[in-house]
Structure 1
Amino acid sequence: MIEENKRLPDIAWKKWGPYVSNREWGLVREDYSANGDAWNYTNHDTAEAKTYRWGEEGICGISDDMQLLVFSLGLWNKKDKMVKERFFGLTNGQGNHGEDVKEYYYYLDNTPTHSYMKMLYKYPQNAFPYEELLEKNAEAGKENPEYELIDTGVFDQNEYFDIFIEYAKSSPEDILIKVTVTNKSAIDAPLILLPTIWFRNSWSWGYDYYRPQLNANNSSQIAIDHKELAVKNFYAKQSSDVLFCDNETNNKRLFNSANAGKFCKDGINDFIINGNNKAVNSGKTGTKASFVIDEVIAGKTTQVFEFRLCDQDLAKPFQDFEEIFSERKTEADDYYKDLQKGILNDDEKLVQRQAFAGMLWSKQFYHYSVEKWLKGDPAEIPPPKSRRNIRNTEWENFNSMNIISMPDKWEYPWFATWDLAFHTLSFAIIDSDFAKQQLKLLTLEWFMHPNGQLPAYEWNFSDVNPPVHAWAAFRVFKIDEVKNGKPDLLFLEGVFQKLLMNFTWWVNKKDHNGNSVFSGGFLGLDNIGIFDRSENLPFGEDLEQADATSWMAMFSLNMMRIAMELALYNEVYEDMATKFFEHFLHIAHALDCMCESEFGLWDEEDQFFYDAISLKDGTNKLLKIRTIVGLIPMYAVEVIDDEMLDKLPKFKERMDWFLKNKPELAALVSHWEVKGEDSKHLLSLLRGHRLKKLLERMLNEKEFLSDYGVRALSKEYEENPFHINLDGTDYKVKYLPAESDSYMFGGNSNWRGPIWFPVNFLIIESLQRFFFYYSPDFKIECPTGSGIYLNLNEIAEFLGKRLSNIFLKDENGKRAFNGQYPRFQEDEDFKDYILFYEYFHGDTGRGVGSSHQTGWTGLIAKILQPRFQEMKLVQAQTETPKKAGVKVDGK
């Protein structure tokens, strides 16, 4: 058996991992300002001197799962204005397209237990161009591209270090650390390495005054004394000195007030940069400590530095170092070799492995109690009263101290609910227990609001994300069942019970007119349309959303399918399956015929779904702009076979009655009574005609279809922007293939043209489901106008291939995501390192937005999974389990 698979069931192997944020400054949870300006309350330059309340940040860092102790790497090239302890980037207001990290680092390898991990950081040898990056981006407008680190010329003469950081665990709490430094220049260059450990400050807030301690035994060993940690030694193979300070805010520097002690958080930095002996503790004790390794790295040479965090007292801590590293690296290779069986292309293997690495590296310790944040801590100055009017006031139940998969640990070092649902699909391939745990987490009472709402993200927990949690839960359930050979019914039932509350919240809160047409706000699609959909319409009317309504139809079918699965083991759930079947039919009816009118969100003339405005006079007006919103009805699709219906007689009886006695509803849905291949029935918002018409639009290269996937907005609006006059005001939307020119939602948000992975992934999944109903003879022209006709599964594979084209080498050896920079395309030291951007240029595939959004863009790992395995999973999701009636313990 593969060694990593043997370790995986033992949770102790996950005690230590890459749980350290890349950025803690500029976050809501660290913001104690009077006006809620989180980006400016803490910033990059003050971060070195300010102790954080809720978490820690670092470069390539690791910590235990309670983040009691952190290891990270500090660096100084003897030219920078400060020690490099954290990645630099622009705040939301400083970037012309929003927040933006301005460093180059790559997640190269990781295993599910973090038994072996590797990443790369490219550190310039000349002074880091902090001011230039700030000034150039401040000068640029929305119409200009971002000014990046590569544009400054700091890499032009290869005057930089490749710094590889690797971790290998000898046992769960014995972690070996290897830092490999290569001078890419021909010129010798100085470098100070500062491998640093520190305790998260838990003693300054007035709850627990226990203060752990670090002490120097000698210049190559630091003793670790914490009552809740097994790790007790930090060893260095090479070190000239060891420096100590405390993880305490330098109040004198930041606020011109008294410090809590003599030695502050920035003490080591002050000593290294300014030679200030008084900033570090000569007694060699404290709560933060660094080994000092002062080297000159000869041109074109490599040096290796070794360290060890250990729960043992070792006389020779590096005697078995290379042997352990070699074993873990070999085991990681064995693990991925087994996982990637069926992937024949080495480039696909490389991309998929780095995608998994990025997802595993993006796990983060997430600590945040809204109640304590609102009230303040006993030992601190109480927050201003205005805090109660800024954000998250109604979420005092929220209290997290968990390891959570983050979208991006620099740009988005906070969870987002719908992002996380997509993350779990890729995680399920490598660690289905973690995937299930993440889905359960958001439904726990200290996450989910008592009214049933799931928290969106910390900037505003009350915002609304698309309800994809049930879809992800059932998908992960089925992947887990195929992997482990039995269904985890306890997981599925537990999530279902909580999602009942969430579904009820949606019905009560987001169906404003009681007509089964929903308006969920921006729903993650920030700049998708004419208005900021997170706000009320400027003239007071209601927005009836085709996407919100379709998401709820999808939610209904997902809940119905889960209930049917559970009913195979407990007949009580048959009634719940019926409930959601009826919900789905009412929503399908509403899409066609809102209220009692003949008006719906499907436009017969254009053969497309649109949002609509419900006007005060009772009439409705379609907003006839073709966006991804009009394709989302495709997601609401379920296929049920006769075998399952025969095993659920109550559900079948009630369903038959409903369809017979409510023909006006049944007629709107894809023909349930018409059996497809192998006696399968289809529930969908789209009859065959409408599906074909939507696909004709979607597969048209002049509209939605790009060489790299499906665009978020029709390209038709590039030359002919959409215009509409409402209440005397003109509104315009133009196709923007990459960065946005709109300040509507702020930041780097843009759904007006780029390619987004999650919506593309759901299109692929939906087409696969439709294929299981329709015969292979059901074909659509693809691309539209090409004369080539493909069945729905072939179209799904076609789209998957186009998404893959973003990352895989083309016939010229170039990768589309690397865009306009020849250096990234051609340089051997760049071209095979993959960045998983937030979204992608609608015409060129260039990466845009957050550069390490391995979370949902990590879905490429799922897309690259061997097709025969994927089809097996899709089939398992649509067919009846063979163990119906058998009790399964769920473990």
Structure 2
Amino acid sequence: MSERERLAGSGSAQAPWRLWGPYLSARQWGTVREDYSANGDAWGYFPFEQARSRAYRWGEDGIAGVCDRHGFLNFAVAVWNGRDEILKERYFGLSNAEGNHGEDAKEHWWITDGTPTHSWMRCVYRYPQAAFPYAELREMAARAGRGAREPELSDTGVLDDDRFFDIRVTYAKAGPDDLCVEIAATNHGPDPAPLHLVPQFWFRNTWSWGRDARRPALIASSAGGWSRVLAEHALLGRYTLQFDGEPTLLVTDNETDEAALFDRPVNPSRYTKSGIGDHIVSQMIDACQVPPPGTASQPGTKAAGWYRFAEVAPGETVTVKLRLVAGDGHGAAFGRTFAAAMAEREAEAEEFYDELAGHLDADERTVVRRAYAGLLWTKQHYRFRVREWLDGDPAHPPAPGERLGGRNAHWKHVDVSDVLSMPDEWEYPWFAAWDLAFHMVPFAVVDPAFAKDQILLLCREWLMHPNGQLPAYEWAFGDVNPPVHAWAALQVYRAEQAATGEGDRVFLARVFHKLLLNFSWWVNRKDPEGNYLFEGGFLGMDNIGPVNRSEPLPGGWRLEQSDATSWMATYALHLMQMALELARADEAYEDVATKFVEHFLSIAHASTHFGSADRPIWDEEDGFCYDLLSRVRPDGGVESHPVRVRSMVGLIPLFAVAPLPAWVFTELPNFAERLNFLLRRQPAFGQFLTWHTDGERSALLTLLDTRKLRRVLRRMFDEGEFLSAHGVRSLSAAHRDGVDVHIDGWPHRIAYEPGESSTPMFGGNSNWRGPIWFPTNALLVQSLHVLDAFHGKDLQVELPTGSGTQVTAGEAARELQRRLAGLFLPGPDGRRPADGDRVEARPGERWREHVTFSEYFDGDTGEGLGAAHQTGWTALVAVLIAGWPGTSGK
């Protein structure tokens, strides 16, 4: 069976091949779900130091791990080099307050391969042979100011001379519930070194909270030449984890060590979560069960197989094999069928990616395949019942009263237990609504069924607020993200239509009806004056402005936002396009399409013709769009001033572009008649439509007419402003020396910074002051392709500005794609710009063979910054290289 055939039979989220996957998070500590404090200090309430000894309430974490889609039964790799102070069971990183630029993972690992049904997965973890420098990394970050780069593990010297093990973990499914696992560790250092491989198997703790007393069980035994752990669970049934060779079996309980952590007189269980590590590292013999050969352990809820390698020679690879299978297992687990599953799944992965990227050169294929592999690994089990979380659990002390009016108190309806695509597995191990929307574009290529499921999931009644708002992210469901879900739904629909010849209209209709509620929420909540100019807070743009746009301004001033208004114009166009597509089969949707075209035209007119005090968001003098500061004067009049900061908020109007193809005017006469009526009654609306005068009647709706469009693109393609060698910056480099904005007599300053922001305005990785971000760049690329499809050679722009070289919008889009892709492709010196001066740029293949997908990129050098495993939205590079479905891009 090929992976395509496997996918064809796995359209449902409950399909057997989707039961097991990389759904285990890389970090559960320090998350909102585990925070039961009064003050909402999630990082402080459950710190890294407690993770080894304290049971989680809502999820689990581990290294290169997998679990079932319900998050009940988990498998992951633990290791020990004989020197670490604790067993290495999870990746280490700094909390938000500890990092000099917010939270920051301090480990090196790469997702190197994977297929959509997770029939084949591979991850590499780089583990130091010296003691892991936990304290030193904290001290280095504490000494570094916000102006310094983030200190990394390599800066401590523990990785010098390649003194590390590469631990490669490979999964191959012999069947939907039959996982073959190989753990291969290679000593890359110059000297022999000891290594302990400790694969772990455990149940999430569901029994300690007073809500469900049923307790699953793990029983370990070794007899007849094979070792195993038998797992029994009320929902999953029976599974067996078999171990090749003769490891020492260890069994404990996934219970909190309350005596050690909280000075309690006694623990609820004799054995605790840290028992396996205590036994191996601290030599606490009675910390866990060690069943002798030929006997079985007492039931537990966490188990491991302990493989000891006293000396691994330089260049040597040691390997252990395991097999997780439904039922009782069998004596031939590691024979011919194991080898065959590994070989067949790897060959099927090669075939799958040859189909997607076979037309690319070797370096491009590597980037595309690694991007998709990392994207597939972002799928995590996410469980959260907000009402229970706010109230606390019956078996524990009452929750502090402050929680009932604190974080997410107005989102008590949220009750989710599903697999969601996360921004990444460590720094953002929780869904973020607008991140997820961007993820679905590359997902639509490799797994359209999952892409559709995810977009629908965010709109379901257990996530969407009853008032129509979509949940933003775990830290504050009520924050406002840009409304990109209609856009994402269209991309998924068109990608499947391009691949199969037929779009899923039922999916499109289901999303459309839910987004009608969301659009109404935006109109009712974010247009307080009813003038079609919108507010929205930071809208994912963090530090892009001189003030915190999520907080009230002094002196009665408020912001009418260019980006919020442009996003809503774009949203209206996308809903119009969805309605038009649905109207081809059901004429009732024509009426709704006319509603959205009229709403778009009203927003467009407001943004370019009048704002508060008749001042437009469009600035004719500068040829750019700005936020407006406005307030009501004592005499009742309104005063308004532009915030003359050239940033991404002034480029977002470019997103508001949509064609009205010829079929609209032939197949949908009611819509065409209503549009003509609007244009007769409101002739000023006509400037937002460009008509094709030859051949069939068609039009292009745009927020910026061709004259304004050229002026904005001139700034965007100016290498002294937005255009860098690696993409479009989020803040104009013309502001390198800073610009002041006065509000109520007080100056607020902002300056272009190519990398990390020097201000912690939003407390963490708030870095929109110049870097290159893939989501907004990808939207710019698509907008240019839409413009090119309509105008062709009639619309040409100078690229770069001042060069004298005229190109079409499509050629400009492809040049931008080339620059973005070039971040990950080796240059003449063999280095990737995204690697910058980090350890990944060291000479030799040991580091350079791995591609790192960062959260954002330095606006001058292209160096990757922020989260280092952001193959969520940065995985958009895969479609920018291999081809964006439904566009004329490469």
Alignment of 1:199-278 (within 5 A): 199-218=203-222, 220-257=227-264, 258-278=266-286
Aligned partner of 1:700 in structure 2 is 718
CA distances 1:588-644 after superposition (whole Å, capped 9, x unpaired): 011023357431001110000000111232111100110010000000000112222
Aligned partner of 1:878 in structure 2 is none
RMSD, aligned α-carbons: 1.5
1:484 Cα shift? 2.4
CA distances 1:820-855 after superposition (whole Å, capped 9, x unpaired): 136534221110211110000001100000000110
Aligned partner of 1:691 in structure 2 is 709
Which amino acid counterpart does residue 707 of structure 2 have in structure 1? H
> Is 1:496 the counterpart of 2:504 in the alignment?
no
- Aligned with 1:658 (options 662, 670, 678): 678
1:239 Cα shift? 3.2
CA distances 1:74-100 after superposition (whole Å, capped 9, x unpaired): 111110110000000000100000000
Aligned partner of 1:644 in structure 2 is 664
1:870 Cα shift? 5.2
CA distances 1:343-396 after superposition (whole Å, capped 9, x unpaired): 2x1100000000000000111000001111011122222210000232100001
- Aligned with 1:460 (options 473, 476, 479): 476
- Please, what TM-score do these two structures have when normalized by structure 1? 0.96
Q: Measure, in 2, the Cα distance between the counterparts of 1:16 and 1:231.
A: 14
> Is 1:176 the counterpart of 2:176 in the alignment?
no
Structure 2 unaligned residues grouped into runs of 5+:
292-296
Which amino acid counterpart does residue 151 of structure 1 have in structure 2? D
Q: Measure, in 2, the Cα distance between the counterparts of 1:581 and 1:837.
A: 38
> Is 1:752 the counterpart of 2:769 in the alignment?
yes
Q: Measure, in 2, the Cα distance between the counterparts of 1:873 and 1:487.
A: 20
- Aligned with 2:759 (options 742, 745, 751): 742
Quickly say closer, same or farther: Cα 1:825–1:686, change in 2 above 3 A: farther
Q: Measure, in 1, the Cα distance between the counterparts of 2:541 and 2:41.
A: 23
Aligned partner of 2:622 in structure 1 is 606
1:240 Cα shift? 3.0
1:768 Cα shift? 0.6
Aligned partner of 1:537 in structure 2 is 553
Q: Measure, in 2, the Cα distance between the counterparts of 1:368 and 1:162.
A: 35
For the residue of structure 2 that corresponds to 1:378, the secondary structure is coil
Quickly say closer, same or farther: Cα 1:676–1:443, change in 2 above 3 A: farther
> Is 1:682 the counterpart of 2:700 in the alignment?
yes
Aligned partner of 1:798 in structure 2 is 815
For the residue of structure 2 that corresponds to 1:790, the secondary structure is strand
- Aligned with 1:856 (options 844, 869, 873): 873
Q: Measure, in 2, the Cα distance between the counterparts of 1:459 and 1:783.
A: 41
For the residue of structure 2 that corresponds to 1:764, the secondary structure is helix
1:275 Cα shift? 1.1
Q: Does 204-213 or 621-630 show the bigger shift?
A: 204-213
- Aligned with 2:37 (options 30, 33, 40): 33
Aligned partner of 2:294 in structure 1 is none
Which amino acid counterpart does residue 726 of structure 2 have in structure 1? Y
For the residue of structure 1 that corresponds to 2:389, the secondary structure is helix
Which amino acid counterpart does residue 194 of structure 1 have in structure 2? V
Q: Measure, in 1, the Cα distance between the counterparts of 2:393 and 2:663.
A: 59
Report the identity percentage: 45
Alignment of 1:42-191 (within 5 A): 42-191=46-195
Alignment of 1:295-694 (within 5 A): 295=309, 296-312=311-327, 313-320=329-336, 321-343=338-360, 345-594=361-610, 597-617=613-633, 618-667=638-687, 669-671=688-690, 673-675=691-693, 679-694=697-712
Q: Measure, in 2, the Cα distance between the counterparts of 1:309 and 1:101.
A: 30
> Is 1:842 the counterpart of 2:849 in the alignment?
no
Which amino acid counterpart does residue 683 of structure 1 have in structure 2? L
Q: Measure, in 1, the Cα distance between the counterparts of 2:853 and 2:139.
A: 27
Q: Measure, in 2, the Cα distance between the counterparts of 1:268 and 1:814.
A: 42
1:693 Cα shift? 0.4
Aligned partner of 1:820 in structure 2 is 837
Answer whether contact 1:676 1:773 (CA < 8 A) is retained: no
Q: Does 234-243 or 145-154 show the bigger shift?
A: 234-243
Which amino acid counterpart does residue 287 of structure 1 have in structure 2? T
Which amino acid counterpart does residue 816 of structure 1 have in structure 2? P
Which amino acid counterpart does residue 837 of structure 1 have in structure 2? S
- Aligned with 1:286 (options 300, 307, 311): 300
Q: Measure, in 1, the Cα distance between the counterparts of 2:4 and 2:513.
A: 33
Q: Does 678-687 or 432-441 show the bigger shift?
A: 678-687
1:475 Cα shift? 1.2
Answer whether contact 2:249 2:290 (CA < 8 A) is retained: no
1:65 Cα shift? 0.4
Q: Measure, in 2, the Cα distance between the counterparts of 1:703 and 1:324.
A: 53
1:548 Cα shift? 0.2
Q: Measure, in 2, the Cα distance between the counterparts of 1:821 and 1:465.
A: 32
Q: Measure, in 2, the Cα distance between the counterparts of 1:508 and 1:841.
A: 38
Q: Does 151-160 or 691-700 show the bigger shift?
A: 151-160
Q: Measure, in 1, the Cα distance between the counterparts of 2:676 and 2:203.
A: 63
1:486 Cα shift? 1.7
CA distances 1:441-491 after superposition (whole Å, capped 9, x unpaired): 000000000000000001000000000000110111111122222221110
Q: Measure, in 2, the Cα distance between the counterparts of 1:511 and 1:60.
A: 46
Answer whether contact 1:837 1:848 (CA < 8 A) is retained: yes
1:181 Cα shift? 0.6
Which amino acid counterpart does residue 116 of structure 1 have in structure 2? W
Answer whether contact 2:7 2:116 (CA < 8 A) is retained: no
For the residue of structure 1 that corresponds to 2:63, the secondary structure is coil
Quickly say closer, same or farther: Cα 1:211–1:598, change in 2 above 3 A: same
Quickly say closer, same or farther: Cα 1:636–1:548, change in 2 above 3 A: same
Q: Measure, in 2, the Cα distance between the counterparts of 1:651 and 1:670.
A: 15
For the residue of structure 1 that corresponds to 2:576, the secondary structure is helix
- Please, what TM-score do these two structures have when normalized by structure 2? 0.96
Answer whether contact 2:161 2:190 (CA < 8 A) is retained: no
Q: Measure, in 2, the Cα distance between the counterparts of 1:678 and 1:820.
A: 55
Task: Name the count of aligned residue pairs.
Answer: 869
CA distances 1:745-791 after superposition (whole Å, capped 9, x unpaired): 12121111100000000000001111111132321110001111100
1:646 Cα shift? 1.5
Aligned partner of 1:889 in structure 2 is none
Which amino acid counterpart does residue 341 of structure 2 have in structure 1? I
CA distances 1:238-273 after superposition (whole Å, capped 9, x unpaired): 233111110111111111113111011111111111
Which amino acid counterpart does residue 30 of structure 1 have in structure 2? E
Answer whether contact 1:406 1:413 (CA < 8 A) is retained: yes
Q: Measure, in 2, the Cα distance between the counterparts of 1:810 and 1:72.
A: 36
For the residue of structure 2 that corresponds to 1:157, the secondary structure is helix
Q: Measure, in 2, the Cα distance between the counterparts of 1:476 and 1:85.
A: 37
Which amino acid counterpart does residue 863 of structure 1 have in structure 2? L
Which amino acid counterpart does residue 48 of structure 2 have in structure 1? H
Answer whether contact 1:4 1:331 (CA < 8 A) is retained: no
